[in-house]
Structure 1
Amino acid sequence: MILFSCIWSTPYAAGEWWNLTWAGDGLKPGDTLNSSSYLTSPNKTFSLWFFPWGNTTNSLSSLGISDFATNFIVWSASPSKPIANNSGVLTLDNTGTLKITRLGSDPIVLHSSSQPTNNTIAILLDSGNFVLRELHSNGTIKQVLWQSFDYPTNTLLPGMKLGISHRNNLTWSLTSWLSDNYPVPGPFSLRCDPNGRQLVIQKEGQMKDLEGPVTARVDACDGYNTNGGCKRWECKREIVSSDPFDVRSGYFVEDGDHSTNLSSPRLGFSDCRATCLSNCSYVAFASLYENGTGCRFWTDMSMFLQSNSVGSTSVYTLSLKPSRKGKNKWIWIGPVIAAIALLVILIYTLCCLQRRKKVTVKENSRSKDEQELPDLVISDKSITIDEIPNDGRKGHDVSVFSYECIMAATNNFSLESKLGEGGFGPVYRLLGCCIFGEERMLIYEYMPNKSLNYFLFDSNRRKLLDWKKRFSIIEGIAQGLIYLHKYSRLKVIHRDLKASNILLDESMNPKISDFGMARIFKQNELEANTNRIVGTYGYMSPEYAMEGVFSIKSDVYSFGVLMLEILSGRRSNSFYHADHVLNLVGYAWDLWQEGEGLELVDLTIRDSCVEYQVLRCIHVSLLCVEDSAVDRPTTSDMLSMLTNESTQLPLPKKPAFSIGKKAIEANTPNNELEIHTVNGLSISDIDAR
C-alpha cells in the first residue's frame, strides 16, 4: 500500500465506525447507507462509512473506505465536496444510479447509466474496491458499471493502477490531502507523464522525475525542490534527532504569545514544519486553523505553560541541543553551586530534626484510640474496624498524613491554598487522610476541571461538553457506581449523587466525590432504614425521601436524574408550573410518551449527537427513576443497557416525579419536617410518628 498524504504524513485516523450499525457488505436496489451505519467487506478487511473530518466543529464528513483493523482512511468518495451535519445518505436506486444525497446541496452522483437497470448490486470487496455490478437474471456478473479503484485519492492499494485508460477515458493518479485530518486535495500529485511514460510528482505546476526506486527517507528531509530532491536547510542549529519536534499542550500567559501567522489555506502541516526548520528565529509551530491549514510560528516559548486542561493549544516545539558556548565557565562555577546546595541541604536537615522532636512530644500525648484509623464515612450506626474486609495486607490501602505535613502543604491552612468549601468544611489538595486530636480530615485527589455542574449549567462552558464527552462522563459515573456497589471491599451507598459531586480531571474523566453522606453496607445487607434523611431534593428516590429506606437502588435513581441533566443541560428542579409541580423527570416522561424524546436534548449538541445513543440514554434514565425500587435496574444492568445495543430494554413505567418540597409537605405534618441547606447541600430530618 502506498500512501500519498502531503508527502510524509500517515493516513487519516478518523472517528469510530464501531459505534455504528453494521449493514452487511453491500447494497441492493432500494437500499441506503447513512451516517449511523457501515458496510464491511466479506472477510472484514475494509469498512465503508461516512467518516468525520478531523477536529472540525461543523460536523463535516465524507463517504470513505477505511482499513478495518486500524481505521485508517484509504479512499474518499468526495474529498472536495464535504457533507454537512451528518446528512449524507448513499443510495442505490431501482434504475442503477449510485449517488450520495446531502442536506442543502446537490447530490454527488457516483454512477448514472443512460440505460437504466434494476438488476444491480454495490459491494465492498476484500481488496478495498467498492464495485457497482450489473447482474444476469441468474445472479452472475454481467459487467462492472463503476468501481472506486478507478478514482484513487491519496492511497494506492494492491490492484489499483496509475496511468491513463484511453478506453474508459480515465486518468489514474494520487493526490495528497492537505493534512492528515483534513481530506481536501493538497498541492502534491503523483501521476503518469504521457509524454515521457514515467511517474512524476507535481507540486503546483512543477514536476520532479522519479527514475528508479524511490527510497528517500522523507522524515530526514527538511523539504523538497525540483532539482535536488531531499533538501536540508542551511540554518545552522544543532537538533537532537531526525524528527526534532515534541508535541506540547498548554497555553501562553498574558502578553507572552510571541507568534507570527501565515494565513494561506494552501499551506499544510509539512509546509509549516519545513518553514520552522528553515528559519532560525522560529522555535515552535502549529496549524493556524482547526482544519490543519495555515501556519503559526513562535520565536519565544518562555511564557508557555504546559497543561492538558480544556482549551489548551497543541504546539510542535523544536528540540535543540544546548549551546556549548561558555562551557569553560562551568569548570569553576559548578563546584561553587554544589557547595551552596550542600550547605542549604544541611541547614534544612537540622531544621527538620528540630521540628520532628517537637512533633514527637505532641504525638506521644495522644491516646491510642486517636491514632487508629476510624470509619471512613459518617454512619448512622457504628461499625468496628474488624468488620471492614481486609485483603491480607497490614492496615488499609489509605495514605495517612501527619498533621504537620498537612499544615505545610496548605501553608498553615491559608486562604490562598484553599480550593473551595463544602458542607463539612474547607477543601485543600492532597490524597489520603489525617487524624489529629478531634480533627478528622480526608484529603482528595486534585481535579483541575472542577465539577460537572461547573460546565453543565453554564451557558458558555457547556459548549465544551460535546456529545462524545457527555456520553463518556455518563459511562464513567456508571462504572464508578458499579465499583462502589459491587467490587469495592466496602459496599458503599453514596446517597448524594449529583452534578456538583462529580469531579473532572484534566482529561474530563469523571470521579465520584463527597462521601460525607455515604453509608457502608455489609456484603449481605440489601437495604437500611434511617430517621435522618440526608441528600438533595430532586435526586432522592421516593422510598428514601418518604420512608427513609435506602439501598443501591437509591443511587440508581439519583444516577437516572443526573443522566437526564447531562442530556438536557438543565437542572432537575428548573421546571415549574403553577397548577402542579413538575421536575426534569416529569418533563422527560411527557416527551417520551409523546415520541418527542429528542426535544429534551441540550440545543448545543442536538445537531451533532448520535440520535439512537441519546434515545437509549433517555430510555435507561426513565428505567432508573421508576417509582418502585424493585423495577429499577442494578448498576451492572444499567451499564450494559447503555453500552450494549443488543440488550433488550423493557418499557419504562410512569415515574413518581412529583417528589418536590410540596409533595413531601402534603404527606408529612408540619412539626415533623425540618429542612437544612449548607453550602448548596439539602438535608431533611423526618421524625417518626
Structure 2
Amino acid sequence: MDIFAFVFLSSCSLVFLSGFSDAADSITQSQSFNEGMTLVSKDGSFELGFFSPSSSKNGYLGIWYKNIPVQTVVWVANRLNPINDSSGVLMVNNSGSLVLLNHNSTIAWMKIGWNSRNGLEWRLSAWKSPDDPSPGDLTYGIENHNYPESVMKKGSEKYFRTGPWNGHGHSGVPKLKANPVFKYNFVSNKDEVYYIFHMVNTSVISILVLNQTRNLLERFIWVEADKKLNVYSSYPKDNCDKYNLCGVYGNCMIDTMHSWVNGSMKLEECRVKCLNNCSCMAYANSNISEGGSGCAIWYEDLIDIRQISTNGQDANGQDVYMRIPASDHEKMENNVMMEGNVIIDQNAEGKREDVELPLFNLATIATATNNFSSNNKLDEGGFGPVYKATLIDGQEIAVKRLSRSSGQGMSEFKNEVVLIAKLQHRNLVRLLGCCIEGEENMLLYEYMPNGSLDSFIFGLRIIHRDLKASNVLLDSNMSPKISDFGMARIFGGDQTEGNTNNVVGTYGYMAPEYAIDGKFSVKSDVFSFGILLLEILSGKKNRASFHLDHNLNLVGHAWKLWKEGKPLELIDTCLEDTCIQSEIVCCLHISFLCLQQQPEDRPNMSYVVMMLQSESSLPEPKEPGFIAGKKSSLSSKNESSSTNEMTITNLEAR
C-alpha cells in the first residue's frame, strides 16, 4: 500500500471523532465534508482539505502544513483516482469507514488500516511530477527479509539502500546518525518493522521527500527565519551509493537479501556455523552496539561491500569476515609472503631475497595509535598520514599508513621496505618493521620527537593577538590573506604561552584568559578564529549583535539555538543555495570547540583544519566563554544602534 512521498513530524495527529464545523478537527458519521471545508489538527500544525496542484484541474484530498506560507502537501488520499470537478465529498459510511466519493457517489478512496502480520506493506512513492500526485516509478520502503533494510527502487530495480540497522545506525550510510537536529531509530519485531526519526526540538519541521525528477531521497528542514524549506541531506550521495555498482564482492556495501540472522548467538558461534556450511560466504555481528552481539550470515555472492573509516567513535561500519578458498588466498598474497619475522621478496630475476624485518599485526598498531586517533596524527604526506604510536613496552614509534588513493602500489611499498631495511645509517630514519594485513600497508619508523627540519626553518610560532574579520583581506580570487601583525608575538623553543600587563587587541575577539588576566598563547588565536567562523556563518558581528529577548551576544545567541536544536536559524541566508546544511552545522560545531572557556579545552589549529577536512565525529562542546552581551535599557520601541570596532593599543617608551 502506497503512502505519499513525504514523511512529516509533529507531536499532533488528525483525529476523526465527533463534532464538526469549518476548521474543526473531527467529523461524525452523520456529516459530510465538501470543497472549501477543512479539518485542523488540535495543535494547529496540519490541515486536511481538498486541493488542486498549481497547474492541474484535478482535485485531491490531502493534508498540508497550516502555518507554512507555501502550501506543502504531506499526504494525499486519492492519488490514483483524482476528482475531476469540485463535487468531491468526504464522509463516514454506515460501516464506519472513511470514504471519499466523487460526483456520481462512487468510492474514490477508502482509509483502511494495516498490520505486518497480514503481509500489507506501507512504502513511499514519488509523485510523477509536481502537478501530478499519482505514483511514479520511484519507491522507498523496507525489504522485510531476515536482515531488514530500507531500499529505494526505480520500478522493480534496486537503486539505493541504506544497509541493515546494526544498533548504531544504517551500516551503508554512516553519516545518517544522531545530530543536533534529529535522531534515528529502527524497530523490528514479530508484529512490525519500521524506521523512524524524531526531532530533538519538536517545534522544528522536517520533511522526507522522494524526488522522482532527481532520483533522490531528500530531507528538508523548515527555517522560520528564511520562510522556506532548505535541503539538509540527500541520498544517494555518490556513485558508490547506487546498488550493485561495484559488482559481487565489490567494495561498497553488503547485500542482505540472502542472509540469516540470530540475535542471541555470539561471534565465535557464528564463525563455527559459517565454517560448517559450505554455502556460507561471510559472517558478522548483527548488532555492533555495546561491544557487538548476534550473528548475521550470508549464503550467496556478496554485493556492495563498502569500506568505512573507523576514526569516528560512533562510525556505523562493522567488521565482516569473508570466507575465501585457499587457492584464492594464495593469489592474493602476490609475491610478498609473511614468514614469522621475515619478509621474503622476489627480485627482478625471480630469486628469493631475504630481508630481516619484524612484522606487526594490525590490532597491535591500532592499539598503539589509539585506533588511528586524530590526536596521534603527526603529519600527512602525499602517500598517507603518519601517526605517533606507543607499543606495549613503552617504545614510541612513527607509523606511516599508506593511503589507498595515494598511487603508491605494492611495488613502491616493497621497494621502500627493501632499500631502507638494507641501508642502515645514523643519518637515515630507522625502519623498525611493517604491517601487511588485508588492504592495510604500513611502515613503522623510529619516532623523531623534534619533528622535521622545516618546522625549525619555516615554522615560527606566531601569536597574532588581533585576528578578526577586518584583518583578513581578500585578493582578486577571493583567497584570504591575514594582515596586521603589529601586535603579534613570536614564541621560540618550548615556550607555549606568555603574559602581559598591556592587553591589546579587539574586544569581542579576545579570549577570556587574555582579556581578563593578560595571558596569551596559540589557543588565544584559536578563540579568535572561533569568533571569526561564527561571524562568517551568521553574517553578524559578535559585539554588534543584540537581541531584544535576551542579553546575549552572538556567541551566547548561537549557543542558545544550538542547545535548543535549532542551529540553522543562526545561518546567514546568503549561504542557503551554495552550502550543504550538514556541513554548515559541522562548522558551527567546530566554532564552539574553538570558543571553549578554558584554553586547554580548545583544539590546536592543525586539529581544526583536520576537523574541517574530515567527516569523523566531533567531541561535544562545553558552554563557550564570553556568551553574555551588554545590558540593555532599550525601550519597547525599535531603536537602531551601531558598534564601532577599534583595536586597543598601548604605546610604551623604550
Same fold (TM over 0.5): no
Q: State the TM-score, normalized to the length of structure 1.
A: 0.29
Q: State the TM-score, normalized to the length of structure 2.
A: 0.31
